[in-house]
Amino acid sequence: MKHISVWMVKNSNSMEIEGDESKFSNPTEYKYRLIMRELAKCIDHLANSYSNDREKYAFIMRVKSLYHMLLPYTPSSIKEKTAKLAKEYEQKIQKETASITSDERKKKKELELAMEYAEKIHYQNIQIIDNSKMITEEVESVLDVEDTSVIKAVRRGGDDVDAKPVSLLP
């Protein structure tokens, strides 16, 4: 018996995260599924990372792989900001670890700073997923059919005054 986890998306449909990959015939669906699985694993590693260095490292690596999966959905301005932030953190790591002589303490400080950077990228990844075409959102609204601008838009810009307004009432 296979274990299947479920991840809820905005439109209240469910998407399987783990399970049988052979049931997807569409490569795009499969890629979306991999992205959502990676996000779920990032969240798990983040939750477990506060007391475990191995989980921190796993979180950092998962965030990195998820970031690369999301590159096609990432706006170029965000890519530029991320590259700039990465350079800043590289410099910060070099600066703050230069005076540390112990290899163990040096690695600990590097991991701490890398974790700080990965958390920022993780929340950015969540926003990219949330605002991408992967997540659909059903919207319900009430249309004021007595508003002249709405009537005009529905009639494709026509000003037919003799036409009766559309009524949603029976």
pLDDT tens, position by position, 35-89: 999 999 999 999 998 888 999 999 999 999 999 999 988 888 899 999 999 999 9
pLDDT at residue 5, rounded to an integer: 38
Please count the structural domains in the chain: 2
pTM: 0.64
Is 109 in contact with 89 (CB distance < 8 Å)? no
Point out which residues pair with 8 in neighbouring strands: 14
User: Do 133 and 169 reside in the same domain of the chain?
Assistant: no
Same domain, 41 and 26: yes
Give a yes or no: residue 88 inside a domain.
no
* 94 domain-assigned: no
Note whether 61 and 13 are same-domain residues.
yes
Does residue 145 belong to any structural domain of this protein? yes
Name the 3-class secondary structure at 64: helix
What per-residue confidence (pLDDT) applies to 145? 67
Residues 15 and 63 in one domain: yes
Residue 32: pLDDT band with limits 50, 70, 90: confident
Same domain, 71 and 145: no
At 36, which amino acid appears? M
Q: Is the Cα torsion angle 126, 90, 64, 41 positive or negative in sign? A: negative
CA distance 151 to 159: 9
Over the chain, what is the mean pLDDT? 78
Residue 90 within any structural domain of the chain: no
Domain with 153, as residue range(s), is 141-170
Please tell me whether residues 52 and 128 are part of one structural domain. Answer: yes
pLDDT recorded at residue 69: 92
Average pLDDT over residues 132-160: 66
In this structure, is residue 103 part of a structural domain?
no
40 and 52 inside one domain: yes
pLDDT tens by residue, 41-56? 999 999 998 888 999 9
41 shares a domain with 67: yes
Tell me: pLDDT of 19 over 90. Answer: no
134/145 same-domain check: no
Say yes or no to pLDDT of 34 above 80.
yes
